Each structure stands twice: as structure tokens, then as C-alpha cells.
Structure 1
Amino acid sequence: MDELTRAKHRALYILERCDRTEQELRTKLSRNYEPEIVEEAICYVKQYDYINDKRYAVNYLKSRCQIKSRRQVEQELLYKKGISRDILEEACQETEAQDESLLIRRWMEKKHYSPETATQEEQRRFYQFLMRRGFQSEDILREMRSRAFE
């Protein structure tokens, strides 16, 4: 079996277990094969639509936005998964935006955060925690205030 055939089989084997982005597949294949072989193997799986970054981004957005802020998920796709900005924009248009206030309320419950009884220090820490998770400042403050007056 020649090198190209092995690379194609390896690409199919990698994609058999779970969907990957083109960059993830390229990274995995480049550990064992020359760049030209890697590109040909990627073209091979692309021609059968076994790898499709837009489909991957849409599925990733739908599944991850249930537990993470949309901004955090978009950052993961851009910088960890190697999705291009154009493909990400197309995928965002295909998926509907998640209600992030619901996610913030879930975090409040999970962290046992109560705005009525929280000290200023606890409020500040919880606010920063949510900011690091990619939530918008106005969404966080709105939920923290609305919970305080319930």
C-alpha cells in the first residue's frame, strides 16, 4: 500500500469516530505524512463530503450554546477548531441565537449565587466569572439585578 492510500485510510479512520474540522484533520495527518500527501487525502475526503467545516460549525454551535455563551463558542471555533471567520458567519446565520439570560440563571443556580444575600465581593467575583465565560456585561447585570428584586 502506498503512502497516499494509507493517508486516505487514516483520514477515513479518524473521521469515522467523530466529525472534525479540516484543520484538526490536517494536524492529525501531518504527524505521519508529508504535506502533499496530507492535502491529497483531505481533498479525497472533501470530495465525498466526509469533512465539511460549515456543517461542523453549525452542529457545534447548536450543541455548545446550550451550556456556554455564544461568544465563547465562536471563539473556540475560530481559534481552537480552525474554522474561518466567513464559515463561522454563515453558520451563525443558520443557527438561532440562544437565550443567554437562561444560561446565566443556570450558572446562578449551579454556583448557589443569590443576589439578595451576596456581598459586594461575591457579586464582583460572580460577575467576573461570567465575563470570563463570554457573557455580555449588560446581560449579566440585568440578570443579577432582576434576581435581586424577586
Structure 2
Amino acid sequence: MTENTSSNSKGRAKPKKSVKEAAVGYLSRRDHAEKELRQKLIARGYSAEEVDQAIDFCQDYNWLNDVRYASITVRNGIAKGWGELRIQQEMAMKGVESSVIDQVLEAADIDWNQHACEVAQRKFGQTPIDTPKEKAKRYRFMQSRGFNFDQIAYAFGQDEEY
């Protein structure tokens, strides 16, 4: 056996990098929410106290900022064709507080009905909805993207013939 077998499958060995180096490493690749970064660092074997210090350090230098992270998530979500509900869910899963989510979505000042129209147009083009089955398929797609029923109805011209 060699000396480099310090980590085993049962217990975690002390990580080689300092917690600050690990935190900055994660943040250099992409922005993270505070809760998400905290979970990653704890999963790597750092103590809660060390993680708290690293989080404070990163926040002091504004490398970790939940408002900026939420703003980026909104921009990226819109670019991916997500609706407001999907974007909210994504941020909530990463641990962004609901007050921050609301603040950033309000500041985004997007017309969600118009965005739903654009997403529907990209996906389905000008082809008409000619069967109830097709209508259900399109509504399910838009729901999976995070649009509410009113936005979906608006996007499809509120065709209520089926």
C-alpha cells in the first residue's frame, strides 16, 4: 500500500486544498448561490465553521452574491425558453431566498405572455392546432417550460375551438 490512500469509501479524508481555495475554484467556473456553494464545500469534507469563513470571505470580495446569481439565472432561463415558474423553481432549488427571486424577476421587466409566444413560435412555427391531441401536446410542452395556463393560452391565440 502507498501513502496516497488516505481517503477511503467510508470516511472523508481532510481535503488537500484550503476551503477558501476550493470556494474560489468553484466560483471561478460559474456563479453559485450561497446555499449551493455551502453544500458543495461540506460535501468535500470541510467543516461547517471553515465553510462559514470561506463564504464570508467570498461575500466580502463580492465573488458570491445571490442577487447577481439570480439575475444570471433569469437571463439564462429566458434564453433557454423557460417561463417564470421554471426559473423560480430553478433558483429555489439552488437555495435562493424567495424575496431575492421576487426582486430579480420584477427587475427583469419581461412580458411573460410575449415570451411564451416566442417560445411557442420557435417550437411549433405557424402550424395550426387541428386536434385536441395536438393542443394537449403543445400545452404540456409549454407547461414543462414553466409557463402558466394564461400565458400558454395567450401564446396559442386562445383558440378554444377544441
TM-score by length of 2: 0.76
Larger Rg: 2
Partner in structure 2 of residue 53 of structure 1: 66
Alignment of 1:14-93 (within 5 A): 14-31=26-43, 32-66=45-79, 67-79=81-93, 81-93=94-106
Q: Say if 1:109 and 1:57 are closer, same or farther in 2 by CA, change over 3 A.
A: closer
**1:94 pairs with 2:96:** no
> Which residue of 1 is the match for residue 20 of structure 2?
8
Q: What SS does the corresponding residue of 1:114 show, helix, strand or coil?
A: coil
CA RMSD of superposed structures (Å): 2.5
1:41-98 per-position Cα deviation (integer Å, ceiling 9, x unaligned): 111111111100011101211221232112211111012x110011112212321114
**Structure 2 runs not aligned, ≥5 long:** 1-13
* Alignment match, 2:142: 130
Residues 1:75 and 1:24: Cα distance change in structure 2 (over 3 Å): same
In 2, Cα distance between the equivalents of 1:20 and 1:14? 8
Moved over 6 A (4+): none
Structure showing the higher helix proportion among its residues? 1
Give the 3-state SS of the residue equivalent to 2:147 in structure 1. Answer: coil
The count of residues paired between Structure 1 and Structure 2 equals 144
Q: Output the amino acid matched with 2:91.
A: L
1:19 and 1:51 in contact (8 A); partners too: yes
Q: Tell me the amino acid that sits aligned with residue 122 of structure 1.
A: E
User: Alignment identity in percent?
Assistant: 25
Aligned partners of 2:122, 2:100: CA distance in 1, in Å? Answer: 35
Offset at residue 104 of structure 1 (A): 3.4
1:102, distance to aligned residue in structure 2 (A): 4.0
Q: Contact 1:57–1:83 at 8 Å: present in 2 too?
A: yes
